[in-house]
Amino acid sequence: MQISTFDPQSPQAHGIASLFVFTLAVCAVIFILVTGLVFYCAYRYGSWSQYVEPPANFGNQKLEITWTVIPLLILLVLFGLTWTTMSAVDPPPASQPDVVITGRQWWWDVEYPRSGAVTANEVHLPVGRNFSIRVQSGDVIHDFWVPQLGRKMDAVPGLQRHIWINVDQPGTYLGACAEYCGAQHAWMRFRVIGDPIEKFDSWQKHEAEPARSSLGGQAELGAQRFQELTCVNCHAIRGTGAKEHIGPDLTHMASRKMLAAERLTNTPEHLSKWLKNPGAVKPGTKMPNLQLAEADITSLTAYLESLQ
């Protein structure tokens, strides 16, 4: 699992990476020139003991023109490449997005408007297709960024932004909120999962369905407690009475790899830990410590972990 911009995995990221390598090479040449000249002067004209007054030289117009014009030409080239790369990696948006991503303090709401699938902190994409992503915000400014897949885009309250991603090959690509957004900006991470189209389709179909209702034992009890406790004030579980969208949709939360925006892996122990005191896991989080009884935690965990 890589995360770095050095390992681009989409045409968008490739375009930027090669532009970067080229620019870096240009800068390296300039840097070596400047440093070389400084060291040469130090070596050639340095005086450690006595010194002679060197002849004065007040300037030279031709030289001035040279070192004005050459940088200008270099920049002209860079500007041209900027322009072409920009249009290539960030074309105009589609009329309808394939997925709508809403940044909230401090998690990501992920909705697929075509199918009605909703999840959080985990974006599934089909491999080899241009996928259209709308980025928006529910509170302050966030920024959607997957280094291996292309440009970052701010999520600005009141505005809708857009990017395209076309994943080269199946895999998991880690992303993060890149615009400072308050206490838990550090743990507002997410992942993008590129799947072959069939796998993606079946995932989406499953994710759009309501939560399973044939439960047993602890899970049955947990489902009941979930409706009785304050959970429903913030969370939605489709197929039940829980409809609020203040926190992540939990309809299929057991199918997700991670908890609380990549803070923890999604295991029953971690989930219990989270429910016991979210603030201890992720200080500052908007989910309050609900002082749940041990028994409630057990049953809620069983319930939520059964929501495949």
Summarize as ranges the residues that interact with ligand HEA (CB under 6 A): 30, 34, 71, 74-75
Beta bridge partners of 259: 264
Q: Of 25, 67, 95, 213, which one interacts with another protein (CB under 8 A)?
A: 67
Tokens of 77: 């080239």
Contact of residue 74 among ligand HEA, ligand CUA, ligand HEC, none (CB under 5-8 Å per partner type): ligand HEA
Distance (Å, whole) CA 81 – CA 10: 19
Residue 168 binds another protein, judged by CB under 8 A: no
Q: Are 203 and 124 in contact (CB under 8 A)?
A: yes
Minimum Å distance from CB 248 to another protein?
19
- Within 10 angstroms of residue 31's Cβ, the number of other Cβ atoms is 11
- Within 10 angstroms of residue 173's Cβ, the number of other Cβ atoms is 24
Residue 188 binds ligand CUA, judged by CB under 6 A: yes
CA 220 distance to own-chain centroid = 35
- Within 10 angstroms of residue 160's Cβ, the number of other Cβ atoms is 13
- In the shown chain, the binding pattern of residues 121 to 160 toward ligand HEC, with x for contact by CB under 6 A and - for none, equals x---------------------------------------
Q: Residue 156 is inside which H or E element, if any?
A: none
CB under 6 A: which stretch of 8-16, 47-55, 172-180, 255-263 binds ligand CUA?
A: 172-180
Distance (Å, whole) CA 77 – CA 249: 48
> Hey, what's the torsion of the CAs at 203, 274, 297, 290, to 10 degrees?
-120
Q: Of 110, 167, 281, 287, which one interacts with ligand HEC (CB under 6 A)?
A: 287
Distance (Å, whole) CA 51 – CA 49: 7
Distance (Å, whole) CA 180 – CA 211: 34
- Indicate the SS3 state at residue 227: helix
Report the residue number, 11 or 126, with the smaller CB distance to another protein.
11
DSSP code for 128 = T
Q: Of 141, 234, 245, 270, which one interacts with ligand HEC (CB under 6 A)?
A: 234
- In the shown chain, the binding pattern of residues 95 to 134 toward ligand CUA, with x for contact by CB under 6 A and - for none, equals --------x--x----------------------------
Distance (Å, whole) CA 308 – CA 206: 9
- In the shown chain, the binding pattern of residues 238 to 267 toward another protein, with x for contact by CB under 8 A and - for none, equals ------------------------x-----
Q: Are 203 and 195 in contact (CB under 8 A)?
A: yes
Residue 181 binds ligand CUA, judged by CB under 6 A: yes
Q: Of 25, 62, 68, 214, which one interacts with another protein (CB under 8 A)?
A: 68
Q: Of 155, 260, 302, 307, which one interacts with ligand HEC (CB under 6 A)?
A: 260
Q: Of 124, 189, 191, 235, which one interacts with ligand HEC (CB under 6 A)?
A: 235
Binding site for ligand HEC (CB under 6 A): 106-107, 120-121, 184, 226, 229-231, 233-235, 246-248, 250, 253, 256, 259-261, 271, 275, 282, 285-288, 290, 292, 300, 304
